[in-house]
Structure 1
Amino acid sequence: MRIQGRSDIPLNDTGRGQAVDAVGALSPYDWDFLVSSPLSRAAETADLIADGLGLTVTQRIPSLVERDYGLAEGLGAGAELEALREPGGPTGNGGFRGAEPEDDVADRGVDVLRMLARDYPGARIIVVSHGTLIRLSLIRILDRAIPTIANAALTVARSGPDGWTLDVLNGELLEPAGARPGGRACRDPAR
């Protein structure tokens, strides 16, 4: 329950168990390869998933690192963390002084997704990254609210001729686009 951010905190036994459990959620799909953040907790998660699925991790992509929370990294709820909040400040930095702006985080994540879609058209790629980067990237490409991303939870987004669609979020299958409010594709002309 601490803000990890870019601090390279190793994966613990709970995380290893979540990674092994993720193999079961991923195995019904056909995947081509994996890419991951170079932070050790994501890299080890990707290695465990790749091993469980008989795949290869082809790249550790620096832009997939988690958001830099600055001085808030390592802190849990309490007075010290609250002292770093910007009361009534802009939401672009998530409310913490010195944190990487949310727009910059989203830019990094979306750039990677667009690059993968462009360089590997039709490929089914597992991207192992970090919750805040994933959430902010999805908000940007889908232009909709996205809840907190759970650790090692399957989220499936697809790039197609009509833009990006979200099929699975935090392990929950979503209804097809247009079947319910908020279940929609987003045209992304800059893909």
Structure 2
Amino acid sequence: MTFLALVRHGETEWNAERRLQGSSDIPLNDTGRVQAARAAELLTGSTWDLLVSSPLSRAAETADIIGARIGLTRSATYPGLVERHFGEAEGATDEDLWDRWPDGRYPGMESRTSMTRRGLGVLDDLASRHPGASVVAVSHGGLIRSVIGAVSGLWAPRIPNAGITTFRHDGTQWNLHTVNGYGVVERAPVEP
């Protein structure tokens, strides 16, 4: 059984300003570095075999801060773990978004289906290549919420900066274990 801790990156200035980041490469701020260190503390109670992240600097730095505490070096970055691309809306504030695109359809935006598919593809690949391993993967809030929904069929709450969501892969499928530190009822196996 593969165990996965999917961690959201720490805070950036755009998070603090409530700007839509998407796939824009915005670095961590000092608060984000503290949040990453707190997440690392929560992960120290377990043994981890592999540390990976999205290639965006906020995720990579969060992973490196975690790795320094849990004794792992980030071994890879996966473009499939990048946040959803929001096209022309990236960098816009909530007010800007409402004023310019009240229907939520941003020109050039990646579909949620595409983001979910690529994110799950990376996670499935990790489970296939590292069966029985315990993996920490640092990614982004939108991607994590989409994976939660796809795996469990449940509505996913907001994922805070440096929030930790855990999954188990039983050799066939992913099962949601915890969201933001809270346990969930795992999905029952599908009858053949």
- 2: CA distance between counterparts of 1:98 and 1:85? 12
1:167 maps to 2:171: no
Contact 2:54 2:138 in 1 (8 A): yes
Distance 2:78 2:35 in 1: 22
Matches within 5 A, 1:122-133: 122-133=132-143
Residue 97 of structure 1 deviates from its aligned partner by 3.2
Identity of aligned residues (%): 45
Deviates more, 1:136-145 or 1:28-37: 136-145
**Matching of residues 97-176 of structure 1 within 5 Å:** 97-161=107-171, 163-174=173-184, 176=185
Flag the structure with more relative contact order, 1 or 2, with Cα contacts below 8 A and sequence separation at least 6.
2
2:36 and 2:66 in contact (8 A); partners too:
yes
Please give the alpha-carbon distance, in whole angstroms, between the structure 2 residues aligned to 1:72 and 1:143. 28
SS across alignment from 1:155 = strand
RMSD: 1.8
The alpha-carbon deviation at position 143 of structure 1 amounts to 2.2
Alpha carbons of 1:185 and 1:46: their partners in 2 closer, same or farther (altered >3 Å)? farther
Counterpart pick for 1:3 among 8, 16, 20: 20
- Which blocks of at least 5 consecutive residues in structure 1 are unaligned? 88-93, 178-183
TM-score when normalising by structure 2: 0.84
**Of 72, 79, 85, which aligns to 2:101?**
85
For residue 115 of structure 1, give the secondary structure of its aligned residue in structure 2.
Answer: helix
Q: Distance in 1 between matches of 2:163 and 2:25?
A: 20
Structure 1 residues 84 and 107, CA, compared in 2 at 3 Å: closer, same or farther? farther
Query: 1:38 is matched with which residue?
Result: 55
Could you tell me the TM-score, scaled by structure 1's length? Answer: 0.84
Q: Which contiguous aligned blocks of 4+ residues in structure 1 show a shift greater than 3 angstroms?
A: none
Q: Map Cα deviations across residues 60-119 of structure 1 (whole Å, 9 max, x no partner).
A: 1111111101111111111x31244263xxxxxx64332110000001100001100111
Higher mean displacement: 143-152 or 5-14: 143-152
- 1:141 Cα deviation from its structure 2 partner: 2.2
**Unaligned runs of at least 5 residues, structure 2:** 1-17
In 1, Cα distance between equivalents of 2:122 and 2:188: 19
SS of 1:157's partner is strand
Distance 1:186 1:99 in 2: 34
- In 1, the alpha carbon distance for the partners of 2:189 and 2:76 equals 27
Contact kept, 8 Å, 1:70 with 1:99, in 2: the verdict is yes
Following the alignment from structure 1 to structure 2, what is the Cα–Cα distance between the partners of residues 169 and 95? 28
Structure 1 residues 7 and 186: alpha-carbon distance in aligned structure 2, compared to 1, 3 A threshold: farther
Task: Give, in angstroms, the shift of residue 148 of structure 1.
Answer: 1.7
2:62 is the counterpart of 1:52: no
Q: Equivalent residue of 1:57, what SS?
A: coil
